[in-house]
Amino acid sequence: MEQKKAYKYRVYPTNEQKQILARTFGCARFVSNWALRCKTDAFYQEQKRLYYKDLSEMLTALKKQGEYVWLNDVSSVPLQQALRHLDKAFVNFFEGRAAYPRFKHKRQKQAATYTSNAFTWRDGQLTLAKMKEPLSIVWSRPLPKDAVPSRVTVSKDSTDRYFVSILVEENIAPLPVTPKTVGADLGLKSYVILSTGETIGNPKFFHTDEKKLAKAQRRHAKKKKGSKNKEKARLKVAKIHARIADRRRDFQHKLSTRLIRENQTICVESLAVKNMVKNQSLSKAISDVGWSEFVSQLEYKATWYGRTLVKIDKWYPSSKRCFDCGHILDSLALEVRHWTCPKCGVHHDRDLNASKNIHAAGLTVREACGEAVRPGAVKTKPGTSQRSRKPRS
């Protein structure tokens, strides 16, 4: 089955290309902020909703005004794509997947998206609109044979590194079917505890560089605003942040790919990370571990390679439920890492017992064709009662 897949590479543009990209980034950022202001004002002042078509017509009129003729110096495609991205951001907001769109800033990640009519792909070389020479791309891995890019996104991060993401349609072959299944309990002390008994430690990338980052931030705060030393200090801070993010992403990709290749079904718990980070004592550690990104990688890789990812209910008491007899404790403090079942007397490692319960519940959900089944007597929420019911298979 053909899937859309993006390949990301490092780019080293020339000085002339950097100037063209800088203008394109700036214009795309301006259009995005201008459109966000127009949509917000129209809704709160006139109770009117503006959509992509309305903003596109307004942008065409804006570019004809003498004050904004500089918008014509760059390709019109990235500007139209900025409107489409904003429209998608509002869809995500109204469907509860994201917060209200925010204004973009110059110091944040800059990006511009080009569709097929705004770039040239010939003999493995990519030339963007308004550019005379192709981009110098470091091909860290080859594109699929006979792949034709449908969309290209050029970005620059806060450390002034340039990247290009090439979207292609690829016929991804599913992996051979394997009888192996696994349950994964995500934690803080250990990153993942598998139902097989394997424990994968938490690298704690942010914690490792936290002191170095704090020192760089203090130096940055003491520099004179607007000076070159201030910019140099800012770059050092950004590089530390980028190093943390790169290492974390590399670790997550390697681990998620390994789990997908080794198992036919992976069972995980649905975690409300947005609510969990409100805990002031654990918010930094939860943000450092990156559970949401890891589960997201498992999700799309399972789709690519013909695997099954099962998310069990977040209220399922995986830690408090005895895997051997099904007894559920009334409460289990977070600092308690081992406990003995008062009914059958089996001694449990908290995380290993949770991963086994997640594995069993996930397989039950899979056999029920995706129905949200919770075997045994399960409380829907802490402190609430539940009518007696028979276990469903």
- Catalytic residue check, 269: yes
Buried b / exposed e over 85-107, threshold 16 CB at 10 Å, is: ebbebbeeeeeeeeeebeebeee
Q: Which of 146, 269, 288, 349 is catalytic?
A: 269
d(CA 276, CA 136): 43
Q: Which residue has the tokens 């869809």?
A: 91
Residue among 337, 314, 341 at smallest CA distance from 329: 341
Assigned token pair, 392: 């469903």
- Active site annotation includes 351: yes
DSSP per-residue letters across 17-40: HHHHHHHHHHHHHHHHHHHHHHHH
| Catalytic one of 87, 157, 288, 351 | 351
Active site annotation includes 324: no
DSSP codes, 124-153: TEEEETT-SS---EE-SSPPPTT---SEEE
Beta strand residue intervals within the chain, DSSP E = 2-11, 110-115, 119-122, 125-128, 137-138, 151-156, 162-171, 181-186, 190-194, 199-201, 265-269, 308-312, 338-340, 347-349
CA 70 to chain centre: 34
Q: Which residues are catalytic?
A: 185, 269, 351
